[in-house]
């Protein structure tokens, strides 16, 4: 068994709870679908947000929307402010316990965030 990180990112239309909620649900659902892991396999989750997203913590939404995520250690932090970076972007790193090799992990970038890592999607 190995610990593997799954990367993902998505942009939101505007900084409001509804848009962030939809983005969290869409991104996590797609990551789970593409990587086929059980919630019990999750070691930890990190969310980063650009400084133009301030309305709600993505971890709070994940705990509310995904069964058994109330026990998952999660953190939300502000992304570094880099000139010309992608605005209104939420990124995640989900660390899972798995037997998959690193090259079998499928990273997910949605709604304009594909530009961040064209090399791995």
- Which residue in the list 30, 63, 83, 89 is annotated as catalytic? 63
For this structure, is 4 an active site residue?
Answer: no
Reference 93, options 33, 36, 49; nearest CA is 49
Contacts of 27 (CB under 8 A, 6+ apart): 8, 9, 10, 90, 92, 108, 110
Distance CA 98, CA 6 (A): 11
For this structure, is 117 an active site residue?
Answer: yes
For this structure, is 63 an active site residue?
Answer: yes
For this structure, is 7 an active site residue?
Answer: yes
- Which residue in the list 4, 21, 79, 89 is annotated as catalytic? 79
For this structure, is 57 an active site residue?
Answer: no
For this structure, is 79 an active site residue?
Answer: yes
- Which residue in the list 76, 83, 89, 114 is annotated as catalytic? 76
Name the residues annotated as catalytic.
7, 63, 76, 79, 91, 109, 117
């Amino acid at each position: 068994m190995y610990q593997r990180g799954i990367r993902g990112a998505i942009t939101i239309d505007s900084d409001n709870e509804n848009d962030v909620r939809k983005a969290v649900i869409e991104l996590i659902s797609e990551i789970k679908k593409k990587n086929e892991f059980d919630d019990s396999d999750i070691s930890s989750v990190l969310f980063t947000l650009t400084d133009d997203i301030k309305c709600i913590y993505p971890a709070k939404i994940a705990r509310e929307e995904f069964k058994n995520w109330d026990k998952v250690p999660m953190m939300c932090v502000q992304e570094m402010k880099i000139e010309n970076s992608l605005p209104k972007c939420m990124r995640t790193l989900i660390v899972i316990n798995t037997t998959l090799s690193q090259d079998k992990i499928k990273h997910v970038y949605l709604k304009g965030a594909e530009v961040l890592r064209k090399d791995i999607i």
